[in-house]
Structure formats: structure tokens, C-alpha cells
């Protein structure tokens, strides 16, 4: 049973396109996160949602828009993709905003 699942696992697309990444967790957690891991493997938080409410927005360009239809899902929509958006995006979840956080296996986004 996958605890935090992301789709798709790989995403290859052209610069300027719009794409979405979906995340679902079956752990009963109420807090979900998006992280970006760059080519040097550095992990940085982008957003966190608590019960569908945005809590953290780490100076991410507004081309990135998270959407949480319910507390088990947190999707990431990216408009006008740029070369610098190429990275691995990880979804995570936790209980009541506390630690520990549980991560999905990532979505590798490649911009051509």
C-alpha cells in the first residue's frame, strides 16, 4: 500500500507549456507539502497545506499554484514552464503539521 503517491513519475514537456502533478496520501494526515529537489539534490519546501488551507508559500513564482480539493490530495499546477523548473518534485504529508513528514517517490520534470 503506497502511503504518499504522486503521478506522473516522469513528465517531459516543452518550455511554455502548462502541466499538473497530482499527489494523494492514504495515511489520514491533514497536512501536505510540496518540495523541489534540484539537480544538486538540494531539497527545499515550496508549499504546505493544512486541511486545505495554505500555510507556507516559500517565495515560489506565482506560475506555481497548489490546489487541495480535500485533505488527502494536494496537486501542483505549473504555468508557462521554464527551463529552470526542471527538477524532481516531492509531495509529503504529516499529521497536524507535526513531524515526521512522509514523502512520495517524486515526479521528475524535464523541460525541453
Partner 1 sequence: QQQVKQSPQSLIVQKGGISIINCAYENTAFDYFPWYQQFPGKGPALLIAIRPDVSEKKEGRFTISFNKSAKQFSLHIMDSQPGDSATYFCAAAKQGAQKLVFGQGTRLTINP
Chain contacts with partner 1 (rule: CB under 8 A) = 4, 31, 33, 40-45, 48, 50, 55-56, 58, 90, 92, 94, 97-106
Closest contact distance (angstroms) between CB of 106 and partner 1 is 5
Nearer to partner 1, 25 or 75 (CB): 25
Closest contact distance (angstroms) between CB of 99 and partner 1 is 5
Nearer to partner 1, 16 or 44 (CB): 44
Nearest to 71 by CA among 29, 20, 22: 29
Closest contact distance (angstroms) between CB of 49 and partner 1 is 9
Nearer to partner 1, 26 or 79 (CB): 26
Amino acid at each position: 500500500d503506497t502511503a504518499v503517491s504522486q503521478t506522473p513519475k516522469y513528465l517531459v514537456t516543452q518550455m511554455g507549456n502548462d502541466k499538473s502533478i497530482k499527489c494523494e496520501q492514504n495515511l489520514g494526515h491533514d497536512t501536505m507539502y510540496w518540495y523541489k529537489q534540484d539537480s544538486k539534490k538540494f531539497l527545499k519546501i515550496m508549499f504546505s497545506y493544512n486541511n486545505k488551507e495554505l500555510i507556507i508559500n516559500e517565495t515560489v513564482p506565482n506560475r506555481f499554484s497548489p490546489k487541495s480539493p480535500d485533505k488527502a490530495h494536494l496537486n501542483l499546477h505549473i504555468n508557462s514552464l521554464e527551463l529552470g523548473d526542471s527538477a524532481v518534485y516531492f509531495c509529503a504529508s504529516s499529521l497536524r503539521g507535526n513531524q515526521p513528514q512522509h514523502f512520495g517517490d517524486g515526479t521528475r520534470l524535464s523541460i525541453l
